[in-house]
Amino acid sequence: MKELRGNMRLVGALVVIAFVALSAWFALTVFEQGSIWASSSRNTRLRQTSAQRGDIIDRDGVVLATTQNGERVYLANNSARRALAAVVGDDAGMSGTGVESYYSAQLLDISDSLLERLSALFNGKQRKGSSVELTIDARLTAAIAGQFPSGYRGSVCVLNYKTGEVLAMVSLPSYDPSNPADAEDTAYLNRCLQGLYTPGSVFKLVTLCSALEHDSNVINQSFSCAGTWNYEGGSIVCAGKTAHGTVNLESALSKSCNVAFGKLAYQLGLTRMRETAETLGFNENMKLGDFVIYNSQFPTSQQNASDLVWSGIGQSTVLVTPMHMTMITASIANGGAMIRPWMVKRIASVTGAITHSGGAKSYRQVMSAQTASTIARYMRSAVQSGTARKAAISGYTVCGKTGSAETSDDKSVETNSWFTGFIQDSAHPYAVSVVIEQGGAGSGLATELARKALSASIEYIG
Instruction: Read off the pLDDT of residues 127-181 as tens digits, 9 standing for 90 and up.
Output: 679 999 999 999 999 999 999 999 999 999 999 999 999 999 999 999 999 998 8
Angular region, 84: left φ>0, alpha ψ -120 to 50, beta rest? alpha
Average pLDDT of the segment spanning 178-198: 92
Q: What is the predicted pLDDT for the residue at 45?
A: 41
Euclidean distance between CA atoms 339 and 361, whole angstroms: 6
Does the pLDDT value for residue 39 go beyond 70? no
Average pLDDT, the chain: 88
Yes or no: say if 313 and 324 are a contact pair by the CB < 8 Å rule: no
> What percentage of the chain carries pLDDT values higher than 90?
73
Q: What is the predicted pLDDT for the residue at 31?
A: 41
Examine residue 149 and say whether the peptide bond preceding it is cis (omega within 30 degrees of 0): no
Yes or no: say if 319 and 300 are a contact pair by the CB < 8 Å rule: no
Does the pLDDT value for residue 52 go beyond 90? no
| Cross-strand bridge partners of residue 403 | 418
Q: Could you tell me the pLDDT band of residue 289, with boundaries at 50, 70 and 90?
A: confident
Q: What is the predicted pLDDT for the residue at 233?
A: 84
Contacts of residue 62, defined as CB under 8 A and 6 or more positions apart, other chains included, come to 75, 138, 139
Average pLDDT of the segment spanning 108-120: 57
Yes or no: say if 442 and 125 are a contact pair by the CB < 8 Å rule: no
Contacts of residue 283, defined as CB under 8 A and 6 or more positions apart, other chains included, come to 277, 295, 296, 297, 298, 300
Can you say whether the dihedral through the CA atoms of 224, 372, 278, 253 is positive or negative?
negative
Q: Could you tell me the pLDDT band of residue 19, with boundaries at 50, 70 and 90?
A: low
Euclidean distance between CA atoms 128 and 222, whole angstroms: 65
Q: Could you tell me the pLDDT band of residue 307, with boundaries at 50, 70 and 90?
A: very high
Euclidean distance between CA atoms 349 and 54, whole angstroms: 8
Average pLDDT of the segment spanning 392-421: 93
Q: What is the predicted pLDDT for the residue at 303?
A: 81
Angular region, 146: left φ>0, alpha ψ -120 to 50, beta rest? alpha
For residue 391, the number of C-alpha atoms closer than 13 Å in the C-beta half-sphere is: 35
Lay out the sheet containing 154-160: strands in order across.
166-172, 154-160, 430-436, 416-423, 398-405
Q: What is the predicted pLDDT for the residue at 32?
A: 41
Q: Which of 8-12, 124-128, 195-199, 308-312 has the lowest mean pLDDT?
A: 8-12
* Alpha carbon separation from 243 to 79, 186, 251 (Å, rounded): 45, 40, 13
Longest C-alpha distance within the chain, in Å?
97
Q: Which of 25-34, 53-62, 122-131, 308-317 has the lowest mean pLDDT?
A: 25-34
Does the pLDDT value for residue 50 go beyond 90? no
Does the pLDDT value for residue 319 go beyond 90? yes
Q: What is the predicted pLDDT for the residue at 408?
A: 79
Q: Which of 143-147, 180-184, 235-239, 457-461 has the lowest mean pLDDT?
A: 180-184
Q: What is the predicted pLDDT for the residue at 302?
A: 84
CA nearest neighbour of 345 among 163, 192, 171 = 163
Yes or no: say if 322 and 334 are a contact pair by the CB < 8 Å rule: no
Does the pLDDT value for residue 11 go beyond 60? no
Q: What is the predicted pLDDT for the residue at 21?
A: 55
Q: What is the predicted pLDDT for the residue at 252?
A: 97
Q: What is the predicted pLDDT for the residue at 240?
A: 87
Euclidean distance between CA atoms 323 and 442, whole angstroms: 17
Does the pLDDT value for residue 220 go beyond 70? yes
Euclidean distance between CA atoms 156 and 418, whole angstroms: 10
Yes or no: say if 124 and 44 are a contact pair by the CB < 8 Å rule: no
